[in-house]
């Protein structure tokens, strides 16, 4: 399985690269921080870190969110899944928490993650109260393609 997640560290000041006002899940709030999106390959016996890419806030780009270099955590995560497959990491599924699973566009960005002609299934967390698409969701909190 390939696991996509992000992690943030609080930072004072603004001189450190990639610092900005970003969501910090471990603190449950938005604060001045550096956030990194990571992928980890895992099976029943071990896990192996694959990629780690900082999420640079829009304020660091001349055109903000419309700048071609700006990427959201979701876009970075989907891109890292594609890169992991291209680097030869074999995985039968992609897993992410509800920060990714609750975003409708994220599943579409995972489309290029393929194993031969078969798309890799995904298991994405959903926040409580979020409805599953018809016929999907093998158990509460998870969603996978049909």
Domain assignment present for 142: no
Residue 132 CB coordination number (10 Å): 13
The total number of structural domains in the chain stands at 1
Q: The domain that contains 103 carries what CATH number?
A: 3.30.420
Residue 138 domain-assigned? no
Mean pLDDT by 10 residues, the chain (146 residues): 90 82 83 91 92 91 91 91 88 85 75 59 75 48 44
Q: Which of these, 61, 60, 109, lies nearest to 83 by C-alpha position?
A: 109
Q: Does residue 143 form part of some domain?
A: no
Residue at 25 is within a domain: yes
Within-domain flag for 144:
no
Ramachandran angles phi, psi of 35, nearest 5°: -115, 135
In a domain? residue 41? yes
Domain membership flag for residue 81? yes
Return the pLDDT at 80.
93
To the question of pTM greater than 0.85 for the whole model, the response is: no
Distance (Å, whole) CA 106 – CA 110? 7
Residue 132 in any domain: the answer is: no
Range of the domain at 29: 2-124
């Amino acid at each position: 399985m390939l696991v996509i997640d992000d992690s943030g560290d609080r930072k004072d000041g603004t001189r450190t690269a990639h610092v900005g006002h970003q969501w910090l899940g471990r603190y449950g709030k938005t604060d001045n921080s550096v956030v990194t999106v990571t992928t980890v390959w895992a099976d029943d016996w071990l896990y192996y870190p694959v990629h780690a890419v900082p999420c640079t806030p829009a304020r660091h780009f001349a055109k903000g969110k419309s700048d071609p270099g700006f990427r959201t955590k979701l876009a970075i995560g989907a891109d890292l899944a594609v890169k992991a497959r291209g680097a030869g990491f074999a995985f039968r599924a992609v897993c992410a928490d509800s920060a990714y699973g609750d975003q409708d566009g994220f599943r579409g960005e995972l489309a290029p993650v393929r194993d031969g002609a078969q798309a890799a299934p995904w298991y994405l967390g959903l926040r409580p109260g979020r409805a599953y698409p018809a016929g999907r969701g093998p158990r509460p909190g998870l969603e996978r393609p049909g």
